[in-house]
Structure 1
Amino acid sequence: MRDRQTTTLAALRRPLFLTRLGLLAESAVRAFWPFWSVLFVGIAALALGLHDLIAVELVWALGAILVVGVGLSLLYGFRRFRWPSAAAARDRLDRSMPGRPITAMTDDTAIGRDDPASRAIWAAHQRRMAARAAEARAVEPDLVLAPRDPYALRYVAVLALFVALLFGSVLRIGTVTDLAPGGTALASGPSWEGWIEPPAYTGRPTLYLADQRAGELSVPQGSRITVRLYGEIGSLRIEQSVSAQPAHDPEAPAPNGYSFDITQSGRLAIEGEGGRAWDLSMEADAPPSIEVGGALSAEADGEMRQPFRAEDDFGVVAGRATIALDLPSVDRRYGRAAEPEPREAIVLDLPLPLAGDRSAFEEQLVENLSEHPFAQLPVVISFEAEDALGQVGRTTPLHVTLPGRRFFDPMASAVIEQRQALLWARSNAPNIALLLRAISHRPDEVFRNEGAYLRMRTLMRRIESAGASMSDAEQAEFAEALWNLAILLEEGDLDDARERLRRAQDRLSEAMENGASDEEIAELMNELRDAMRDFMRQLAQEMQRNQDQQSAESQPPMDPDAMQLSQQDMQDMMDRIQELMEEGRMEEAEALLEQFRQMMENMRMAQGQGQGQQSPGQQAMEGLAETLREQQGLSDESFSELQEQFGSGQGEPGQQGQGQGQGQGQGQGQPGQPGTGENGQGGTPGADELANRQGALRDELQRQRDGLPSLSGEEGEAARDALDRAGRAMDGAEEALRGDDIPEAIDRQAEAMDALREGIRNMGEAMAQQQQQGGGGGQGEAMGQPDSSRRDPLGRSTGEGGEVGTQENLLQGEDVYRRARELLDEIRRRSGDGERSEQERDYLRRLLDRF
């Protein structure tokens, strides 16, 4: 047994030796980490040359502190250091193994030595422990110092040493003796050191002159040379011809420090014992170059695209495009005959690559300046690029007409012309009002909807009132109002979009027949594409507003002979037309265009045609549409009343409704038309009667709003807000009518109609979104009409979109809305009661947010 123990312990020599070395490392690291931390900080400070930047007295004071710190830390280390014994290593290795086999092998039995069975068991135990001990591996040392160095000062010292080795020089450590009287520097002669630092944007490394042999060096423009001389003053001197400034820098921290920038090629020499000379060749930083990459292109909505290319040897850091009015090229007629108001040039930042090399790149300037006063006017565009040195490269000025949105409707185009005249000079305001009055003289012939005419009339009156002395804010407000009016006139409704599409088809067909140029045909083709997209958008909105909300089972089958087209089909057909025109096959292109025209005229979009009962959502939309029609008729009668006050329409532009009583006879007017009273007789009702009818219409709108179906999402909230605005506008119209202020009443009625249209549109969008979220169920189900066959286990109808809940009214009778308002007021009162608990008030606030 003793032989086995001796053999096993001999096999443990290597792991025991390595474990003992680990204990030695632990003891040394724990005892001497303050010593090498202080030592690393001192070496880093000397290698970085910090002793050359401060006074000699301070250097020696800090040196003394460093020496004391090194001594104390070394004394601390020797007092804490313990040489590990063999027994400690054996105990560390034994504890790392389960059962401590080394201790078990040196133990002996306390009882049962004479018992053969006990001896056999003990021998078996010793064999197991010997086998386990033979698998011993050296224990890794525990070198964690975090408990002894909670502030990680050792890492700060290591980082300082690493920085010094990267950016400093070990040779500087010996120069500290030069600071002592009779130091080695004075004894051995003068010395020097210097650096050439290229600009950061070049990415070039710093050159240490002591490592550079005498000869020619190539350095970038703007590099900074720093030279320091040591030893007796005057023993070394600098001669240079690379900079116009003096070599000596008055702000240098030491009298022998020199710093200057390289502005030209030349010679740099350090004259004296151990000196050196170099011929510096300056690499000039070329200014950036930029050029226009192609012709300016523009879309129908006014978005312009101008490609450009820019280059620089070290990369472009910024770019700008300046757009200035080319006044000599402006046609100074009509609204531009007056002197223009001064306006600053447009300055746009050029797009630069977000990543990668900027030394050479191509980009596009994309901008839409349709609403700017320079739109549709001759301008001069200048591109410029700037590098990191501040050098600027510019293009040759580009003389173009600044693109703007194209308006195809004649009335919209006329409004935009007056807007441009107003922005050109506010002195044009009287003429602008006069022209607006002239083009709207017969509103029933030139306006497709009364809302646009009422908006123009209000704006015309405000421009007349402001006159040429309008303020800057008023000028900007009127310009924005004219722009919105032109958009309304241009886009209009579905009939307008269809008419615009027809005009675009006619113009393209006429151009093809007359042999127009490729550029003109391409422009007309883009116009046709824009008109087609606008028509499809208006058609989709019209279908959404007018579609029947019926389940799929109640829809009649589609007529297989009916022509159905998707937007992609029409897009493919227009692509084919353009392809034929580019190939010169004009006859085939004209035939295909005619086929396209016929298909558009006979097209029917797939939609439900069910004639079943309408859903609550559809009924609400129809009720609001009827309210809008009644409000339009009431506005017409208010306008007729205003004409009567001015003497049969002589004081206001337009003669809408004038003479209808004479032309059609008494009692022949149509409801809602100007000149028709409520009783169907000729003439106009009084202001009081109009006010009463306006109040009744407002009450009806409130009843309809309270009866709206549940609409979720932003669109539903927007619909309710729009109807609230419509109600407030109706209140204002009623008050104006009772005060006999008919112009103000007409303005408020126009606001009410606009809000009603917006509410109906938002309501349709909310209902469509609710249908999509319902998982594509039946239309009636999506619009608030549940399937009667869907019942919960208690026999109640499920909610909208399949939600659990009953559709039956919980409150019956005429007081349902009054009761709902009372409940809402009570919730508001309780939510503001400070004596109630925070949990209860938070719950009440959530109820208010939801309902």
Structure 2
Amino acid sequence: MTERPTSSAERGLAGRLALSRLATRASILFERAWPLVLPLLIVVGLFLSFSWFGLFPRLPDAARIGLLILFALASVAALYPLRFFRLPSAAEIDRRIEAANELLHSPVQVQTDRPSGAESIFSQALWREHQKRMAERLSSLGADRPRTGVPDYDRWGLRAVAGLLFVTALAFSFGPFGGKVGDAFVARAVHDTVPPRIDAWVTPPAYTGKAPLFLTADANQAVQTFSVPQGSDVSLRVTGGSGEETLNYADQGGNDRAIEPAAPPAAKGTAPAATSQTAPNVRQFSGKLNTNGTLTLKSGDSDLGRWPFAVIPDKPPTIRFVGEPKRAVNGAMELNYQIDDDYGAASAKAVFELSDPPAANAHPLYGAPDMPLTLPRRGGKASAAKTTKDLTEHVWAGGNIKLTLSVTDDAGHTATSDTKTLVMPERPFANPLARAVIEQRRLLALDTNAKPRVLDLMDAITLRPEDTFDNMSNYLAIMSARSRLKLSESDDQLRNVVSYLWEIALGIEEGNLSAAERRLRQAQQALQDAIKNGASDQEIEKAMKELREAMNQFLQEFAQRAQQNPNAPQMQQNGRELRQSDIDRMMDQIENLAKSGDRDKAQQLLSELQDMMNNLQAGRQQPGGEQDSELRQQMDKLGDIMRRQQEMMNDTFRLDQMQRGSRDNGEQQFGEDGEQQQQGQDEQRPGPGQDRDPLGRPKMSPKDLADALKQLQEGQGQLQSELDQLKKGLEGMGMQPNEGFGEAGKSMGDAEQSLGQGDGDQAVGHQGRALEALRRGAKDMMKQMQAMQGDQGGGEQGGREQNADRDPLGRPRATNGPDDGTSVKVPDEIDVQRARQILDAIRKRLGNALSPDIERSYLERLLELK
């Protein structure tokens, strides 16, 4: 054995030699293995190319199996050359290195050889010297490249065709028509089976206004959770499946609910057997989504699809009054309210209930009135709405009721508003006979046990027809109603009598105009319903034709009534005459808007037309005659009391100032400018010999002042007595004087007592409070009077000009009630300028240092008045 090298040169040589031997070993292995492995690689490449090109699924099963066997045999044959593979030995590697580097005398092998024969010191030294010299030749040692010899067998390079085919097939496999490696081992029948088509969608409730959601769309594949409204319908259809698919819905609580498939529809005119053979297998599922959860479609143990849902709950609606229920100008009930709901309410109505329940044995003919409410437009910004309905024909009209608003949304949630207690509006009847008929009708409708009493009242009315009836046709109508009532036994017959009594009362009150009015209201309601329900153009045109005919009939009857009664109201609107062409133009606009699709604007314009006709009807329906004249007389008396109270307060203030001036006469208050004040008073006196006060008025002696205060005391007491009589008169006419009259009477009594004690200052304060209380009472009486006349919120005479019932200062004339001091119009620039001049004159007068104290005090109080 040679000794192990110890020097650095020897270690470097050993490292280079080891690297060269390793590279040479790899080259020899590659050139020996590559020709043996290449046939197998070509067979595998061709098999993969056939698979990736998708040729196997297109071949019949026999050809596919034959080709698969051929590839298998070729693979086995390609493995046969591998039996000739052998590893290179160390000597072969060294000889390959020496041959590659053209080294003579085997310098590589020398490094590992040893001499033969007996070893001696000399022979070992000689061998080491030889190795050293041979090692010097290995300084630039390198490895040899592999030489496979394949080009000698494949001079045309056909092996490159297999490689190019392999790369092309690999790229083709990523396309839509590319095949898979496993296609060669799958039968053609299995390949021909089309995967099932899955269609899943969610349909929100129609009232939400949301579009359906297609779950299996490509755009929704990345959606993590689907948000849908509560109550949505989920539908899923599997086409071409195995027919064993199941659909489950698991909520967040872990409850799993199975959704059963629907029965497949049978084709028309086709036998069930034939249908199952030709039509693909279709399996449909349908269910409701009310809670959060996950929808899972399974076929056996495999999941075909999963869709998680977040259900948006449907909030219950809310409804509340906006303002108090009130009586419209035509006597109808007007309700303003607000409805809030996340998707819009489905229906709303007003619920009526009698405040005083009927007796236990009472048998009413009618229940509560029905009043559906108009709903705000879905999706609109405004949630406020208004509903007006004429309930004056109902038998509850004029009675105390409890009113509650109720609303229901499409999900079934119901909410109610606060309960209001009010008097149900009724139609005012000025004719005493018509009022008597209405009272009998109400008695009969509220309790059929009152039938004998109603018959007795009819007998009383018809006892002396020549004194009671101006028109004998009314007498015959009441006698006919009495006969019907006497013969009526069932509730339906009694209801017919009640309806007949209403017709009789309208005929007595209005004649033929009531029928035209009823037809007009029905036509307006029909058109409003048609616009609201989205009727077709033909239906809207038909409703407009009926409205025009009803309007023409109503206006014709109204004109005839105006000719017969010169005092009847004229057709005016907003201070100008309302002509037939104006109404026709408005109806044309309503029809055009409804047909063009702007139904909201059409409804608004129809509402304005109804308001115009309501104002016109209200002016006709105002109660007149003796009662109206008495009301106006009482209101005129109230205005006279207020005027006299104002004059009495002014006189009391003047006498109080005189009384203070007489006490202070001759007294001087000296200060820093006392002499100047006294001198100023002397200069302002008119002259010697004239007995006047500092303001230039004649002076009164203490005796005259006492007599004047006594007269004011008597006048104040008389005024209080007249106020008490006025209150009693108003109460006798059905009015209800408010607490303002009571406060005014008390203040008048206090003022009378103060005048008796000679305290004018206290008396002025009580008189001012009495005047303010009278104004409040007058304002309340005007509202009650307008309510009785069916004229809330409008002018008293409906068709007159807005300013025809006011004086040049904008105050109500005496014929329209007393001036309460609060209805003066806003002053224009001229009025403001005039008021500024008066204030400047007062301030200039106050700036005069020579003015007396009495005058300065009076002017200061003028500036403090508001």
Between the two structures, name the one with larger relative contact order (CA 8 Å, sep ≥ 6). 2
- Specify if TM > 0.5: no
Structure number with larger C-alpha Rg: 2
The bucket for the TM-score relative to the shorter chain is 0.3 to 0.5
Alignment TM-score, normalising by the size of structure 1 = 0.37
Structure 2 length normalisation: TM-score? 0.36
